Amino acid sequence: MTDPLLSASSQKPAAPRLSATVIVVRQSGHSGTDLRQLPEPRMSGAASPHSADHGSLSMEHGIEREYSALAGYEVLLAKRAQTLRVLPGFMVFPGGVLEESDLDRARNLMGNNSSEQEPLRTLPSAPDEFALSRGTVLSRSVTRNELYYSLLVGALRELFEETGLRILDSLDVSALRHIVGGGTTVRYFGRRVTPERVRYRFDTHYFVVEAPASAKEDLQLAESEFEMALWATPQDILSARDTGSYLLAPPTVDALSALCAYTSTETLLRHGVLPAQRDDDSRIDQFIAQTTKPLR
Protein backbone atom coordinates (compact mmCIF):
# COMPACT_ATOMS: atom_id res chain seq x y z
CA MET A 1 0.00 0.00 0.00
CA THR A 2 1.42 3.35 -1.02
CA ASP A 3 2.06 5.82 1.78
CA PRO A 4 -0.36 8.73 1.19
CA LEU A 5 2.28 11.26 2.26
CA LEU A 6 4.81 10.11 -0.33
CA SER A 7 4.84 11.48 -3.85
CA ALA A 8 4.08 8.74 -6.35
CA SER A 9 7.25 7.47 -8.02
CA SER A 10 5.70 7.95 -11.46
CA GLN A 11 4.99 11.60 -10.78
CA LYS A 12 7.26 14.58 -10.57
CA PRO A 13 7.67 15.70 -6.93
CA ALA A 14 5.40 18.60 -6.09
CA ALA A 15 7.13 21.98 -6.11
CA PRO A 16 7.43 23.43 -2.60
CA ARG A 17 5.16 26.37 -1.78
CA LEU A 18 6.84 29.51 -0.51
CA SER A 19 5.98 30.15 3.12
CA ALA A 20 7.11 32.28 6.04
CA THR A 21 7.34 31.33 9.71
CA VAL A 22 7.69 33.62 12.72
CA ILE A 23 9.71 32.71 15.81
CA VAL A 24 8.35 35.11 18.43
CA VAL A 25 10.71 35.57 21.40
CA ARG A 26 10.32 37.28 24.77
CA GLN A 27 12.26 37.41 28.00
CA SER A 28 12.01 34.17 29.95
CA GLY A 29 9.38 33.96 32.64
CA HIS A 30 10.74 30.78 34.19
CA SER A 31 13.89 28.70 34.17
CA GLY A 32 14.35 24.98 33.84
CA THR A 33 10.67 24.04 34.22
CA ASP A 34 9.53 20.65 32.98
CA LEU A 35 6.66 21.29 30.57
CA ARG A 36 4.90 18.17 31.73
CA GLN A 37 4.19 20.10 34.92
CA LEU A 38 2.85 23.18 33.14
CA PRO A 39 -0.79 23.84 32.26
CA GLU A 40 -1.64 24.46 28.63
CA PRO A 41 -2.12 28.19 29.10
CA ARG A 42 -3.96 29.35 25.99
CA MET A 43 -6.79 27.10 24.86
CA SER A 44 -9.22 27.49 21.98
CA GLY A 45 -12.26 25.27 22.36
CA ALA A 46 -12.06 22.05 24.32
CA ALA A 47 -8.89 21.21 26.18
CA SER A 48 -6.57 18.69 24.58
CA PRO A 49 -4.26 16.52 26.67
CA HIS A 50 -0.63 16.01 25.77
CA SER A 51 -0.09 13.33 23.16
CA ALA A 52 2.39 11.23 25.08
CA ASP A 53 1.43 8.09 23.18
CA HIS A 54 2.90 9.42 19.93
CA GLY A 55 6.46 8.91 21.10
CA SER A 56 9.41 11.20 20.48
CA LEU A 57 11.46 11.87 17.38
CA SER A 58 14.96 10.54 17.85
CA MET A 59 17.64 12.74 16.32
CA GLU A 60 21.00 11.18 15.58
CA HIS A 61 21.88 12.75 12.26
CA GLY A 62 20.36 16.25 12.37
CA ILE A 63 21.82 19.48 13.71
CA GLU A 64 20.35 19.10 17.19
CA ARG A 65 22.76 20.23 19.89
CA GLU A 66 23.14 19.77 23.58
CA TYR A 67 20.66 22.08 25.27
CA SER A 68 21.56 21.93 28.92
CA ALA A 69 22.36 25.66 29.19
CA LEU A 70 19.11 27.59 29.40
CA ALA A 71 18.40 30.48 27.08
CA GLY A 72 17.19 33.64 28.77
CA TYR A 73 14.10 33.87 26.57
CA GLU A 74 10.95 31.99 25.63
CA VAL A 75 9.44 31.25 22.24
CA LEU A 76 5.80 30.95 21.19
CA LEU A 77 4.55 27.64 19.82
CA ALA A 78 1.00 26.53 19.05
CA LYS A 79 -0.57 23.09 18.65
CA ARG A 80 -2.26 22.60 15.27
CA ALA A 81 -5.81 21.33 15.26
CA GLN A 82 -6.31 17.61 14.71
CA THR A 83 -8.71 18.39 11.85
CA LEU A 84 -6.03 20.03 9.67
CA ARG A 85 -4.64 18.23 6.64
CA VAL A 86 -1.01 19.19 7.23
CA LEU A 87 0.74 18.40 10.55
CA PRO A 88 -2.36 17.77 12.67
CA GLY A 89 -1.51 17.85 16.37
CA PHE A 90 2.04 19.15 15.82
CA MET A 91 3.53 22.04 17.76
CA VAL A 92 4.59 24.76 15.31
CA PHE A 93 5.66 28.37 15.05
CA PRO A 94 3.03 30.73 13.56
CA GLY A 95 3.23 31.13 9.80
CA GLY A 96 1.77 30.20 6.44
CA VAL A 97 2.10 30.31 2.67
CA LEU A 98 2.85 33.43 0.67
CA GLU A 99 -0.18 35.16 -0.87
CA GLU A 100 -0.56 37.55 -3.78
CA SER A 101 -1.53 40.32 -1.38
CA ASP A 102 1.91 39.96 0.26
CA LEU A 103 3.57 40.46 -3.13
CA ASP A 104 1.40 43.51 -3.78
CA ARG A 105 2.24 45.05 -0.41
CA ALA A 106 5.96 44.41 -0.82
CA ARG A 107 5.96 45.79 -4.35
CA ASN A 108 4.24 48.95 -3.14
CA LEU A 109 6.81 49.32 -0.36
CA MET A 110 9.70 48.77 -2.74
CA GLY A 111 8.14 51.15 -5.24
CA ASN A 112 8.37 53.83 -2.57
CA ASN A 113 11.99 52.86 -1.92
CA SER A 114 13.56 54.91 -4.70
CA SER A 115 16.98 56.52 -4.53
CA GLU A 116 15.33 59.94 -4.86
CA GLN A 117 13.78 59.67 -1.40
CA GLU A 118 15.45 60.54 1.86
CA PRO A 119 17.98 57.84 2.84
CA LEU A 120 16.35 57.32 6.24
CA ARG A 121 13.12 56.29 4.54
CA THR A 122 14.61 53.61 2.32
CA LEU A 123 14.47 49.90 3.11
CA PRO A 124 17.68 47.87 3.56
CA SER A 125 18.49 45.26 0.94
CA ALA A 126 17.68 41.66 1.72
CA PRO A 127 20.32 40.19 4.05
CA ASP A 128 23.16 38.13 2.62
CA GLU A 129 21.75 35.02 4.32
CA PHE A 130 18.62 35.20 2.13
CA ALA A 131 19.53 32.67 -0.54
CA LEU A 132 16.81 33.33 -3.13
CA SER A 133 17.28 35.63 -6.10
CA ARG A 134 14.88 37.22 -8.56
CA GLY A 135 12.40 34.82 -10.11
CA THR A 136 8.77 34.01 -10.81
CA VAL A 137 6.43 33.65 -7.83
CA LEU A 138 2.68 33.09 -8.17
CA SER A 139 3.12 33.71 -11.92
CA ARG A 140 4.68 37.10 -11.26
CA SER A 141 8.24 38.24 -11.80
CA VAL A 142 9.81 39.61 -8.62
CA THR A 143 13.18 41.02 -7.63
CA ARG A 144 15.19 39.57 -4.75
CA ASN A 145 14.26 42.45 -2.45
CA GLU A 146 10.59 42.22 -3.38
CA LEU A 147 10.66 38.51 -2.62
CA TYR A 148 12.33 39.03 0.74
CA TYR A 149 9.91 41.72 1.85
CA SER A 150 6.97 39.71 0.52
CA LEU A 151 7.95 36.90 2.87
CA LEU A 152 8.44 39.29 5.78
CA VAL A 153 5.08 40.95 5.13
CA GLY A 154 3.47 37.51 4.84
CA ALA A 155 5.08 36.40 8.09
CA LEU A 156 3.74 39.42 9.98
CA ARG A 157 0.30 38.99 8.40
CA GLU A 158 0.14 35.30 9.37
CA LEU A 159 1.30 36.10 12.88
CA PHE A 160 -1.56 38.53 13.36
CA GLU A 161 -4.18 36.29 11.73
CA GLU A 162 -3.19 33.23 13.75
CA THR A 163 -2.32 34.72 17.15
CA GLY A 164 -3.60 38.31 17.25
CA LEU A 165 -0.06 39.61 17.79
CA ARG A 166 0.70 42.77 15.81
CA ILE A 167 4.34 43.79 15.47
CA LEU A 168 3.60 47.03 13.61
CA ASP A 169 0.62 49.36 14.00
CA SER A 170 1.06 50.38 10.37
CA LEU A 171 3.05 48.77 7.59
CA ASP A 172 4.87 51.55 5.76
CA VAL A 173 8.47 52.16 4.76
CA SER A 174 9.39 54.06 7.91
CA ALA A 175 7.84 51.51 10.30
CA LEU A 176 9.28 48.52 8.46
CA ARG A 177 12.75 50.05 8.27
CA HIS A 178 12.66 50.67 12.02
CA ILE A 179 12.14 47.01 12.90
CA VAL A 180 14.57 45.53 10.35
CA GLY A 181 17.39 48.03 10.74
CA GLY A 182 20.32 46.47 12.58
CA GLY A 183 18.29 43.40 13.51
CA THR A 184 16.82 45.17 16.53
CA THR A 185 13.29 43.71 16.32
CA VAL A 186 13.21 41.33 13.34
CA ARG A 187 15.94 39.07 11.98
CA TYR A 188 15.99 36.70 9.02
CA PHE A 189 16.94 33.36 10.59
CA GLY A 190 17.14 30.87 7.74
CA ARG A 191 15.37 28.43 5.45
CA ARG A 192 14.11 24.86 5.30
CA VAL A 193 12.76 23.00 2.24
CA THR A 194 10.60 19.90 2.65
CA PRO A 195 12.30 16.80 1.13
CA GLU A 196 10.96 15.64 -2.23
CA ARG A 197 9.39 12.42 -1.03
CA VAL A 198 7.05 14.16 1.40
CA ARG A 199 3.71 14.96 -0.19
CA TYR A 200 3.07 18.44 1.23
CA ARG A 201 6.15 20.50 0.51
CA PHE A 202 7.13 23.99 1.62
CA ASP A 203 10.06 26.32 1.03
CA THR A 204 9.88 27.95 4.45
CA HIS A 205 11.73 31.08 5.53
CA TYR A 206 12.13 31.83 9.23
CA PHE A 207 12.07 35.25 10.85
CA VAL A 208 12.86 35.90 14.52
CA VAL A 209 10.62 38.62 15.93
CA GLU A 210 10.70 40.25 19.34
CA ALA A 211 7.30 39.99 21.02
CA PRO A 212 5.39 43.24 21.61
CA ALA A 213 5.05 44.32 25.22
CA SER A 214 1.35 43.41 25.19
CA ALA A 215 1.94 39.88 23.84
CA LYS A 216 0.44 38.10 26.86
CA GLU A 217 -2.79 40.09 26.77
CA ASP A 218 -3.11 40.21 22.97
CA LEU A 219 -2.65 36.50 22.27
CA GLN A 220 -5.84 35.33 20.54
CA LEU A 221 -5.56 32.04 18.68
CA ALA A 222 -7.36 31.27 15.43
CA GLU A 223 -9.69 28.53 16.69
CA SER A 224 -9.91 26.82 13.29
CA GLU A 225 -6.15 26.24 13.26
CA PHE A 226 -4.89 25.86 16.82
CA GLU A 227 -5.94 24.01 19.96
CA MET A 228 -3.54 25.73 22.37
CA ALA A 229 -0.34 27.75 22.58
CA LEU A 230 2.45 28.16 25.10
CA TRP A 231 5.52 30.22 25.88
CA ALA A 232 8.59 28.18 26.87
CA THR A 233 12.35 28.14 26.46
CA PRO A 234 13.67 26.21 23.46
CA GLN A 235 15.35 23.78 25.85
CA ASP A 236 12.09 23.05 27.68
CA ILE A 237 10.27 22.33 24.41
CA LEU A 238 13.00 19.97 23.24
CA SER A 239 13.03 18.21 26.61
CA ALA A 240 9.24 17.75 26.41
CA ARG A 241 9.62 16.38 22.87
CA ASP A 242 12.17 13.87 24.14
CA THR A 243 9.61 12.50 26.62
CA GLY A 244 6.88 12.28 23.98
CA SER A 245 4.80 15.19 25.29
CA TYR A 246 4.78 17.06 21.97
CA LEU A 247 5.09 16.33 18.27
CA LEU A 248 7.64 18.48 16.44
CA ALA A 249 8.48 18.41 12.72
CA PRO A 250 12.20 18.23 11.85
CA PRO A 251 12.42 21.92 10.78
CA THR A 252 10.93 22.98 14.12
CA VAL A 253 13.45 20.80 15.95
CA ASP A 254 16.25 22.33 13.88
CA ALA A 255 15.11 25.85 14.70
CA LEU A 256 14.72 25.16 18.43
CA SER A 257 18.11 23.46 18.55
CA ALA A 258 19.75 26.42 16.83
CA LEU A 259 18.05 28.84 19.23
CA CYS A 260 19.73 27.07 22.15
CA ALA A 261 23.06 28.56 21.07
CA TYR A 262 21.90 32.09 21.94
CA THR A 263 21.47 33.14 25.56
CA SER A 264 19.63 36.44 25.07
CA THR A 265 17.15 38.02 22.70
CA GLU A 266 19.68 40.76 21.92
CA THR A 267 22.31 38.27 20.79
CA LEU A 268 19.75 36.25 18.85
CA LEU A 269 18.36 39.26 17.01
CA ARG A 270 21.83 40.48 16.04
CA HIS A 271 23.60 37.22 15.23
CA GLY A 272 21.07 34.39 15.07
CA VAL A 273 21.33 31.97 12.16
CA LEU A 274 19.77 28.62 11.30
CA PRO A 275 22.53 26.21 10.18
CA ALA A 276 22.40 24.74 6.69
CA GLN A 277 19.86 21.99 6.15
CA ARG A 278 21.01 18.37 6.38
CA ASP A 279 18.53 15.60 5.65
CA ASP A 280 18.82 11.84 6.05
CA ASP A 281 16.46 9.01 5.21
CA SER A 282 15.97 7.71 8.74
CA ARG A 283 14.92 11.11 10.00
CA ILE A 284 12.45 11.56 7.16
CA ASP A 285 11.08 8.04 7.73
CA GLN A 286 10.45 8.81 11.40
CA PHE A 287 8.64 12.01 10.53
CA ILE A 288 6.44 10.33 7.90
CA ALA A 289 5.57 7.58 10.40
CA GLN A 290 4.41 10.20 12.88
CA THR A 291 2.25 12.04 10.34
CA THR A 292 0.50 8.84 9.18
CA LYS A 293 -0.62 7.60 12.61
CA PRO A 294 -4.42 7.45 12.85
CA LEU A 295 -6.13 10.17 14.83
CA ARG A 296 -7.62 9.18 18.17
pLDDT digits (tens, 9 = 90+) for 103-162: 999 988 887 554 444 444 578 899 999 999 888 898 999 999 999 999 999 999 999 999
Q: What is residue 110's predicted lDDT score, i.e. its pLDDT?
A: 80
Please state, in angstroms and rounded to a whole number, the distance separating the CA atoms of residues 214 and 210.
Answer: 11
CB neighbour burial string for 8-32, b if at least 16 within 10 angstroms, e if fewer: eeeeebeebebbbbbbbbbebeeee
Average pLDDT over residues 63-89: 77
Q: What is residue 160's predicted lDDT score, i.e. its pLDDT?
A: 93
Average pLDDT over residues 261-274: 93
More confident residue, 64 or 262: 262
Distances (CA, A) of 167 to 25, 214, 226: 12, 10, 20
Q: Which of 27-36, 76-85, 195-204 has the lowest mean pLDDT?
A: 27-36
Q: Is pLDDT above 70 for 41?
A: no
Q: What is residue 117's predicted lDDT score, i.e. its pLDDT?
A: 46
Of 192, 169, 193, 167, nearest to 180 by C-alpha is: 167
CATH topology of domain 17-291: Nucleoside Triphosphate Pyrophosphohydrolase (3.90.79)
Secondary structure element (H or E) that encloses residue 175, with its range: helix 173-180
The pLDDT-based confidence of 37 (bands split at 50, 70, 90) is: very low
Q: Is pLDDT above 90 for 180?
A: no
